[in-house]
Amino acid sequence: MDVPLGQREAATALGLGRWLALRKVIVPQAFALMLPAITSFVVLQLKNTTLLYLVGYADIMYEARLGKDATSAPGVMYLMAAVLYLVMSLVIGRLGDRAERRAAAYR
């Protein structure tokens, strides 16, 4: 999907210059179209890098492994790490949904 050619023509018909048309018409619509892919990419990067940005960039699975070694309940630590991943993914997904709803006005 891309921004329809008619949008560019309409901006020209309104007398908008090239840069103003880009800034006011083309880019907002293009961003609204890209937002679902961007949200998915952010969630995938969260899962692939296993970084927790809220706790000093510590690797979640590394911390779970340390907790497993320190306690006699290794399953609990890995379960906590899984729940943490789930919560972070859901929060990012919700934020993406909210941003998509706000950007829908530009479609």
For residues 67 and 60, give the distance between their C-alpha atoms in angstroms, rounded to a whole number.
11
- Cα–Cα distance, 11 to 27 (Å, whole number): 12
In the chain, the domains with their CATH numbers are 5-106 (1.10.3720.10)
Q: What is the pTM of this model?
A: 0.54
Helix (H, G, I), strand (E, B) or coil at 54: coil
pLDDT beneath 50: ranges in the chain: 52, 55-57
Neighbours of 16 (CB within 10 A): 16
For 98-107, how does the pLDDT look when each residue is reduced to its tens digit (9 = 90+)?
A: 888 887 776 6
